A and B are shown apart, each in its own frame.
Chain A
Amino acid sequence: MPKIIAQLDWLTVLLYTIIIGVGWAMIYSATLETTNPEILNFSKPYGKQIIWITLSVALIILILSVESKFLIRFSSIIYVLSILLLAGLFVFGKSIAGQIAWYSFGSFNFQPAEFTKIAVSLALAKYLSEFNVSLKKPLIQIKTFIILGVPMLLILMQPDAGTALTFSTFLIPMYRKGLPHAYLIIGVSVILLFLLTLKFSASAVAVSIVFLSILMIILLRKKKINYFKYFLTVGLGIGFVFSVNFVFNNILLPHQQDRFEILLGNKTDIKGTGFNTYQSKVAIGSGGLTGKGWLKGTQTHGKFVPAQHTDYIFSTLAEEWGFLGSTAVILIYLFFILRLFFMAERQKQTYSLIYGYCVASILFIHFFVNIGMVLGLLPTIGIPLPLFSYGGSSLWAFTILVFIFLKMDAKRKQL
């Protein structure tokens, strides 16, 4: 045990602690009732969060004492177990707000999807570090996508599109491990075309594509082009554009459609679906440079922002600590995430490199989607701000995720 204390990356632990500490301060402010402000009130979210944080410390000690190789070795079993947990939801799960995402034990709710990310990370780390596994090979690509796809599908069926979406972040470690560039280009193009088509119209985007492709041919006429591939790409692009409206109207649910429409400015609806975003922006915008001061946010205390202690916790921070405070926290996340990527790169074992990438990428996608939503840059997708939002499942999942990697990092010199 003393050895591990010396080997641990304390900078990461410090950043982790700061994020959790500031997060708790914000949860306290957001859920405080002026009539009864005692801190150790365990019936209040801020009191419960203290329990979750305390239990996290126990978890950390446990994780640091477990051999990480052991976890890698058993990653297939862990993966299968997590899939079973997800599937079991449809039988034993508790339906909250139309989603079957929780197991309920009395007053304690447990969300297995949070832990699935750990299992998938371990599984990916193990599979991609195996000898002779290269993501350049289509068969390996397919197998990898199956590892990702099964839990994604199960989560999508809950239905929880937001959490399912976060699985796309595993493209980052896959790319690091050799996934062809084409996947990234296709991924970015699909998102762009989807949004452009919704914003303008299928025919307008299609005409633009045709126009641009003709322009490209003229510009590149000196170079050798594989015309078959070229026209196939253009054709697929146009086909996708015309399928967008079908996907949008028939696959997305009405509330999801609204979220896109509001984001793209096709619809303004302060009272309805746009309410959350509007209230969040009001709280953030009214913070100004230095904020209204801790526990002094008028929007926070008026409970104007829905789900403020969970998904919209960042708006409390921005209201009470202003531009300076919220920028500082964003920069702490920047250091935290980049530190994890940097540590991943210094691993000697491939599995710990991939696992480190998975951890950093998961943190990043949550951070990106959550803050983007709170600032009104992305459609409303209900996922928590990692280590910051209220909630035990989420806090523990991220804690386990991070400290398994810290343990690997501490032992990186042992072969």
Chain B
Amino acid sequence: MRKFLPIVLVSLSIIIFVVKLFYLQIVDDSYKKDAIELSVKKNYTYPQRGYIRDRNGKLLVENQPAYDVMIIPYQTDKFDTTALASLLNIPKNSFKNKINQAINYSWRLPSTVLPQLTKKEYAAIQERMYKYEGFYIQKRSLRNYNTDYAANVLGYIAEVNRRDLKNNPYYQSGDLIGRQGVEQQYEELLRGVRGVEYIKRDRFNRSLGPYKKGAYDTLAQKGKDISLTIDIDLQSYGQKLMKNKRGGIVALEPETGEILALVSSPNYDPSLLVGRKRSRNFTKLWYDTIAKPLYDRGLQAVYPPGSTFKPLTGLIALQEDEVGLNEKFSCYGGYTYARGARMGCHNHKSPLSMEDAVAYSCNSYFAQIYSRSINKYETPQKGMNNWHDHLTSFGLGNYLGYDLPVGRKGLIPDADYYNRAYDYPTYKWYASATISNAIGQGEVLTTPIQLANVMAAIANRGWYKKPHILKKINDQPIQKDKYVKKRKTTIDKKHFEPIIDGLNKVFKYGTARFLQVPDVEMCGKTGTAENKTVIDGKTVQLTDHSIFVAFAPKDNPKIALAVFVENGHWGATYAGRIASLMTEKYLKGNITRKDLESWILNHSLQDEYAKPLSGEPFEINQ
């Protein structure tokens, strides 16, 4: 018996060892990962970020070198803090703080002492830096802007934050990423692909040559250059016109859906968000919660469209065959649509048929044809849904699908919306309850880009292409199905001509009769939208928004645009003028009506914007 003890002991221990080895080497994968983590280091090479040009090939965004002053604390020798601080041109105390922070962070790893010096600053200190051991200068690449405008379109680049790192495994701490605008939208095109070398290392982090003979190494791929559909001259002109006003301008090329200009006001100089002053400037912009410069009003602001909505009401009534082109409606300075409920109208001749109703913007006319379009159906629900479907075919009431990272849906109410609002079927509702929609008030909400797109659809007589901002990649035009496909509206082509004639008459003798660009047949529509805000818990009406939509020329249109000026009162006053100047600028290249231009440049709405904040009672629509 005693002979078997050794056999049992030896066999048992060997079984345990083999099982443990099996577990360590075959079952558990974590050690393989740990081994690579420990024994392989990655050296990255970062490619140049792609350039951004406008539609005419003007270079908007390129790269500039920047220089970080770095420190590796353990390599430093005793040095003269005062001399170095004065060389770097920073206060001695903050310099000392920086060094202490670096030491606290790591004794052996590099930290930044002074980030992003310009070439000039670098040249000044470069020769004398060698004296300071443990300090060195690291080059990196920053954006350089050749324009002071279009910051909302271009966006900016910043270091990745924790959320980016979690969402996208490509990024690593310290990497740069595009934020807002096309920098964010086309991040993957612009950034290119980082190259990586895998290097074996020992436990002192010394290199031992390439890992697996470089089998996993990749080369950096340069970012792609892109061209935008933006016309930078038109864009900057729009921003100049919008100075001291809040609002947005969206200009599209109707035939292609290309965004010619996307103005949001107030805006900022894109160079503010580059380099050492970036974070201070960004904080300033971010905390301006009143003017909201980082908020893209062209894409994100939802406004009631006001009277600019009337052409759509007209088109729907024509398509539903509920109004004849020569059928006239009388206007008695307003329209009584229910007992005791009356919608006002302004002074104009009466009675009117379709074209003149558009030209004079008659509320009564559009209220009546709206009611007919809804009441054609046996229930208001069916009528409402039909109306809703017509409007969504113009791209309203939902995201438009353009290639920029922000947007809003706006609102086109349907039967469900009113059923909920009126608690149907406990309470019933009828077309008359929704009558304000006819003139673009009530529940309807749109963004400037949506309205510009409606104008493009009207200009094209019944179709549009999705608005988009990317024109070329590496000088090759892009043909993305999504942006090439014609999207048909539900309105037949023949119904557009009378409406377009009406829009043309707006400039001839209607609400914008002084605003036509000389020698250009224009079509447009004014809008004046009531709006409210809440001050100290009370809803207060503010001065109306000034809105204008237009396209030109009437035949073979080249530009369609929507202009919103917050609290600008009449549609023709601010928005109309701006739209007219923008059209002239784009079609003719220079402005002949200098007095019109200087009126806009010199008029500010800052006093208007100050009113609700003043705490004093104030008058509106003066």
Any chain A CB within 8 A of the CB of B10? yes
Give bound CA distance, A159 to B9, whole Å: 28
Once the chains bind, are A287 and B25 in contact (CB under 8 Å)?
Answer: yes
A161 at the interface (CB under 8 A from B): no
Of A287, A289, A331, A367, the most chain B CB neighbours within 10 A belong to: A287
- Quick check: is A368 within 8 A (CB to CB) of the other chain? yes
268-312 of chain A: CB within 8 A of chain B: 279, 281-289, 298-299, 301-304
Apart from A176-B3, A284-B24, A345-B3: 6 A-B pairs, beta carbons within 8 A:
A175-B2, A286-B36, A301-B200, A302-B201, A303-B202, A330-B17
Task: Assess the A301–B202 pair: CB atoms within 8 A.
Answer: yes
Is the CB of B377 closer than 8 A to any CB of chain A? no
One of B170-178, B203-211, B332-340 contacting the partner:
B203-211
Tell me the complex Cα distance, A289–B200, Å: 22
Assess whether B31 is interfacial by the CB under 8 Å rule.
yes
Some 10 contacts from A to B, beta carbons below 8 A apart, are A284-B25, A286-B35, A288-B25, A298-B211, A299-B39, A302-B202, A331-B14, A334-B11, A371-B17, A377-B20
Contact with A along B1-42 (1 / 0, CB 8 A): 011011101110110111011101110101110111011100
**Is A326 an interface residue when CB atoms closer than 8 A count as contact?**
yes
Indicate which residue in A281, A303, A364 contacts B203 across the interface (CB closer than 8 Å).
A303
Interface assignment of A361: CB less than 8 Å from any CB of chain B: yes
* Closest A-B pairs by Cβ, 8 of them: A285-B31, A286-B35, A298-B39, A302-B202, A323-B25, A285-B24, A302-B39, A341-B6
A330 touches B2 (CB 8 A): no
Q: Judge whether B211 and A284 touch: CB under 8 Å.
A: no
With beta carbons under 8 angstroms apart, the residue of B3, B9, B17, B38 that contacts A282 is: B38
Contact of B35 among A175, A176, A283, A338 (CB under 8 A): A283
Contact of A302 among B5, B11, B203 (CB under 8 A): B203
Any B CB within 8 A of the CB of A43: no
A395 at the interface (CB under 8 A from B): no
Complexed CA–CA distance, A303 and B203 (Å): 6
Q: CA of A391 to CA of B378 in the docked complex: distance in angstroms?
A: 101
Judge whether B21 and A377 touch: CB under 8 Å.
Answer: no
Chain B hits for A303, CB < 8 A: 202-203
Q: Nearest chain A CB to B350's CB is how many angstroms away?
A: 89
* Bound Cα distance A41, B605 (Å): 88
List of A residues within 8 angstroms of B24 by Cβ: 281, 284-285, 318, 375
Q: How far apart sit A405 and B621, CA to CA, in the bound complex (Å)?
A: 115
When the two chains form the complex, which single residue of B17, B20, B22, B35 contacts A299, counting CB atoms closer than 8 Å? B35
**Complex CA distance for A287 and B10, rounded to whole angstroms:** 25
A303 to chain B, nearest CB (A): 5
Q: For residue A330, which residues in chain B have a CB less than 8 angstroms away from its CB? A: 14, 17-18, 21
A-facing residues in B467-506 (Cβ within 8 Å): none
Q: Does A364 contact B6, Cβ atoms closer than 8 Å?
A: yes
Alpha-carbon gap, A176 to B11, bound state (A) = 17
Query: Of A178, A318, A338, A361, which contacts B7 at CB under 8 A?
Result: A338
Q: A322 in the interface, Cβ–Cβ < 8 Å? A: yes
Verify B5–A285 contact, CB threshold 8 A: no
Task: Check B3–A286 contact: CB distance below 8 A.
Answer: no
Q: In whole angstroms, what is the CA distance A328 to B605 when docked? A: 87
Q: Are B200 and A302 in contact (CB under 8 A)?
A: yes
CB of A360 closer than 8 Å to a CB of B: yes
Interface residue from A34, A285, A318, A368 paired with B13 (Cβ < 8 Å): A368
Contact between B32 and A288, CB atoms less than 8 A apart: yes
- Known contacts A172-B9, A323-B25; decide if A282 and B34 are in contact (CB<8 Å): yes
Chain B residues within 8 Å of chain A by Cβ, number: 36
- Point out the residue from A34, A304, A334 that lies within 8 Å of B14, measured CB to CB: A334
Contact of A284 among B6, B31, B200, B203 (CB under 8 A): B31
Count chain A CB atoms within 10 A of each CB in B14, B22, B26 and give the residue with the most.
Answer: B14
B22 cross-chain contacts in A, Cβ below 8 A: 323
**In the complex, residue of chain A having the shortest beta-carbon distance to the beta carbon of B12:** A368
Residue of B nearest to A323 (CB): B25
* Smallest CB separation, B259 vs chain A (Å): 53
Which chain A positions have C-beta within 8 A of B31?
Answer: 281-282, 284-286
Would you call the interface of chain B mostly helix, strand, loop, or mixed? helix
A301 touches B208 (CB 8 A): yes
Cα A303 to Cα B6 with chains together (Å): 36
**Is A327 interfacial (CB-CB < 8 Å)?**
yes
Interface residues of B, Cβ cutoff 8 Å to A: 2-3, 5-7, 9-11, 13-14, 16-18, 20-22, 24-26, 28, 30-32, 34-36, 38-40, 200-203, 208-209, 211
The answer on a CB contact under 8 Å between B28 and A285 is yes
A318-358 contacts to B, CB under 8 A, are: 318, 322-323, 326-327, 330-331, 333-334, 337-338, 341, 345, 357
Q: Is the CB of A323 within 8 A of B21?
A: yes
* Of listed A175, A282, A372, residue having the most chain B CB within 10 A: A282
In the complex the two chains form, is A375's CB within 8 Å of B14's CB? Answer: no
Q: Which has the most chain B C-beta neighbours within 10 Å: A279, A283, A302, A337?
A: A302
CB–CB B5/A289 < 8 A = no
Across-interface contacts of B18 in A (CB, < 8 A): 327, 330
A326 to B25, CA, bound (A): 10
A285, A302, A331: the one contacting B208 at CB < 8 Å is A302
By beta carbon, the residue of chain A nearest B40 is: A298
CB pair A304–B39 under 8 Å, yes or no, is yes
Residues on B with C-beta less than 8 A from A301 are 39, 200, 202, 208
| Chain A residues with CB under 8 A of B5 | 172, 175-176
CA distance A286 to B33 in the complex (A): 8
Chain B neighbourhood of A304, CB < 8 A: 38-39, 202-203
Distance between Cα atoms of A283 and B211 in the complex (Å) = 16
Contact of B21 among A172, A334, A375 (CB under 8 A): A375
Provide the bound-state CA to CA distance between A318 and B18, in Å.
Answer: 11
What mask results when residues 358 to 397 of chain A are scored 1 for a CB within 8 Å of chain B, else 0? 0011001001100110010100000000000000000000
User: How many whole Å from B217's CB to the nearest CB in chain A?
Assistant: 16
- Give the residues in chain B near A283, CB-CB below 8 Å: 35
B16, B26, B211: the one contacting A288 at CB < 8 Å is B26
Q: Which residue of A lies closest to B33 (CB)?
A: A286
Measured CA separation A409–B25 after assembly (Å): 39
| Residues of B contacting A279 in the complex (Cβ-Cβ under 8 angstroms) | 38
A286 CA to B25 CA in the complex, in Å? Answer: 6
What are the residues of chain B within 8 A of A172 when measuring CB–CB?
Answer: 5-6, 9
Q: Which chain B residues lie closer than 8 Å to A361 at the CB level?
A: 6
Chain B residue nearest to A360 in the complex (CB):
B6
Rounded to whole angstroms, the CA-CA distance of A341 and B202 in the bound complex is 43
Q: How far is the CB of B26 from chain A (nearest CB, A)?
A: 6
> Which residues on the B side are within 8 Å of A322 (C-beta)?
25
A2 to B34, CA, bound (A): 55
- Return the chain B residue nearest A173 by Cβ: B6
Nearest B residue to A331 by beta-carbon distance? B14
Contact between chains at B11 and A282 (CB < 8 Å): no
For the complex, what is the distance from the CA of A372 to the CA of B16, rounded to whole Å? 9
Min CB–CB distance A168 → chain B (angstroms): 12
Which residues does chain B contribute within 8 Å of A34, judged by CB atoms? 208-209
Collect the chain B residues with CB atoms within 8 Å of residue A285's CB.
24-25, 28, 30-32, 34-35
Instruction: Assess the B208–A364 pair: CB atoms within 8 A.
Output: no
Given the known interface contacts A285-B30, A375-B17, A375-B21, the answer about A334 and B10 at a Cβ–Cβ threshold of 8 Å is yes
- Complex alpha-carbon distance, A281 and B17, angstroms: 13
Contacts of A282 in B (CB 8 A): 31, 34-35, 38
Q: Is the CB of B9 within 8 A of A364?
A: yes
Enumerate chain A residues within 8 angstroms of B6, measured Cβ to Cβ: 172, 176, 337-338, 341, 357, 360-361, 364
**Is B35's CB under 8 angstroms from A289's CB?**
no
Q: How far is it, in angstroms, between the C-alpha of A172 and the C-alpha of B16 when the chains are bound? A: 20
Give the interface centre of A298, A303, A326, A377 by most chain B CB atoms within 10 Å. A298
Q: A302-B200, A341-B7 are in contact. Are A375 and B26 (CB under 8 A)?
A: no
User: Most B CB atoms within 10 A — which of A172, A285, A345?
Assistant: A285
A183 to B203, CA, bound (A): 46
Complexed CA–CA distance, A288 and B36 (Å): 13
Whether A323 contacts B203 in the complex (CB less than 8 A), given A172-B9, A282-B38, A361-B6, comes out as: no
A368: B residues at CB distance < 8 A: 13
